[in-house]
Structure 1
Amino acid sequence: MKTLKVYIPGIKFPSISVTGNYCALSCAHCGRHYLEGMKKITRLSLVDKCFEMEKEGYFGCLLSGGMDSRLKVPLDKFKDEIRTIKEKTKLKINAHVGFIDKEDLEWLKYIDVVSLDFVGDNEVIKRVYKIDKTVNDYLKVLDILTEAGIRVAPHITIGLDFGKIHWEYKAVDILSKYPIDVLVLNVLIPTPGTEMENVKVSMEEALKVVRYAREKFNGELSIGCMRPFGKWREEFDKKAILIGVDRITNPPRKVLEWAKQSRNVEIYFECCVM
């Protein structure tokens, strides 16, 4: 019986923003909304916060934040703090990084895994992120990380193009050729106050992408933490588990109990890429 890994990160693996609620971008699907729910720290407080978290039994954290004018999450400005955390605690670090370059390898070597949002279509990048980047720029980041032996877990957000599903298949094809062991599939949440607040994503079309990824990708396939809530999530999660995903984040309790009837279930209190 294939084991299903269930991840519940919020309890012992918090998301931390190093930029507060600031982001230089105002993306169509986010509009800085998701920064609001993260813990906020400064350079002076990050190490103390992590020492405190280890004493309280936390397993690690996601270091994230908004992008700056360089289109990076400015974790390079925290490189000394990150090194101290890894040298003096047992905490694991997952990181959102943005468009890093080779100079960032100096501190990236202390990160356990990089979570990289990946978009496989130039026009979607322009429409949603409103930045002057292409698919090749994403591939440069992937090349830098994988060639340096840094573990990277790409994330595809199904329906990111204002609910339309098309580019996701090409993204799966591209990423399947890379030396990655976990591929994360998210689904767009129509978030109030954003340009996409009234967008609807077809569950059946989203599941077709999950099915395609399962056929194409040889590593572990994960359903990430971003997808609609309520009945939508309940039905989607069940069908994704039947398709054969290896990992799933924050499934409804009903789905968890249902999954135990047909799969061995292991529960982890950390990010699904760990």
Structure 2
Amino acid sequence: MISCTTPATLYEKCLELSSKGAVGVLLSGGFNVEGYVPFEPFLDTIEKIKEQTTLFISAHTGLVPEWLAKEMGRAGVDLADFDLVGDDSTIKSVLGLQKTVKDYRSSLSSLTKHISYVVPHICVGLHFGKLLGEFRALELASEAKPSLLVLLVLSPTSGTVFEKLAPPSVEVFKKVAIEARLMFPGIDIALGCVRPRFHNRHELELAALQSGVDRIELPDERTLEAARKMGMVVKRLHACCSVPDDVVQS
């Protein structure tokens, strides 16, 4: 991603991208001790970008308080990508936050009040590779009535506590994906960018297709061929997997 550590650099880069025909941007960054990306210094700049361009603005938010959710909506953020966790012990032991599921539920509710699109992201196996809280997270996501849901899969990452862990099995992922499809029959479900790339990649993507997942970020060519054999129509969208179809194709 492009580093924009000041409001001025964000403004300049967004105007440059807009002039080159970009449809939108994704704003992200590290979380603070409260578990959210500190967008406060950038709110006026985001508003100015929305006034001067047609860029669709997505943001990884984290556990934003309601006042900030409201200000982000006022500034013009179009879509909130929200990582949703359904277990208190996972929040404390894995994420290192002194928060609870209640805080996630509250933040999700605040975002849905003030931002047009809110897309819950649920990471399968987040609790050190084990299932713990994923089905509760799906229940919480259903309260927001999202138009799209993203499933992620824990991936061993060098330099983290997950480095030596095996990712959850394909069958474990499939249990969550099938439940998600049953709970959300009328919306798109995506397999997002956070997932193992070198361990059972094709098997995981194939399981996603079999479970009713509609979107896969950067799929293997074998997965595309399998989708066609299953009678699916393959479309390529040049955007994050959480961005609505009508935005990308408009």
Q: What is the TM-score with the length of structure 2 in the denominator? A: 0.90
Residue 210 of structure 2: which of 242, 258, 271 is its match?
242
Q: 1:174-193 maps to which residues of 2 (within 5 A)?
A: 174-193=140-159
Aligned to 2:242: 273
Q: Select the structure that is richer in strand.
A: 1
State the partner residue of 1:197. 163
Distance 1:93 1:121 in 2: 30
1:65 pairs with one of 29, 33, 36: 29
Flag structure 2 segments of 5+ consecutive residues without an equivalent.
Answer: 244-250
| CA shift in 2, pair 1:164/1:136, >3 Å | same
Counterpart of 1:208 in structure 2 is 175
Task: Give the Cα–Cα distance (whole angstroms) in 2 for the partners of residues 267 and 85 of structure 1.
Answer: 27
Report the equivalent of 1:108. 73
The two structures have a TM-score, normalised by structure 1, of 0.82
Moved more, 60-69 or 172-181: 172-181
RMSD across aligned positions (CA): 1.5
Of 5, 8, 12, the residue aligned with 1:44 is 8
State how far apart, in whole Å, the 1-side matches of 2:13 and 2:123 are: 31
Give 1:68 deviation, angstroms. 2.1
Aligned pair 1:221/2:189, yes or no?
A: yes
User: What does the per-residue CA deviation read over 1:124-164, in whole Å, with 9 as the maximum and x for residues that have no partner?
Assistant: 10011111100000111111122335321010010100001
1:260 — aligned with what? 228
CA distance in 1, matches of 2:106, 2:23: 31
Q: Distance in 1 between matches of 2:110 and 2:116?
A: 9
Counterpart position of 2:246: none
In the alignment, which of 40, 43, 56 is matched to residue 92 of structure 1?
56
Name the CA distance, whole Å, in 2 between partners of 1:149 and 1:53: 23
Partner of 1:23: none
CA distance in 1, matches of 2:128, 2:199: 21
Q: Contact 1:172 / 1:217 at 8 angstroms: preserved in 2?
A: no
| Cα deviation digits, residues 233-253 of structure 1 (max 9, x gap) | 211111211221122211112
Gaps in structure 1 of 5+ consecutive residues: 1-37
User: When you count helix as a share of all residues, which structure comes out higher?
Assistant: 2
The percentage of aligned residue pairs carrying the same residue is 39
User: What displacement does 1:70 show?
Assistant: 3.9
Larger RCO: 1 or 2 (CA < 8 Å, sep 6+)? 1
State the alpha-carbon separation in 1 of the partners of residues 134 and 149 from structure 2: 12
> What corresponds to 1:145 in structure 2?
111
CA displacement, residues 211-251 of structure 1 (integer Å, 9 cap, x when unaligned):
11111123221111111013512111112112211222111
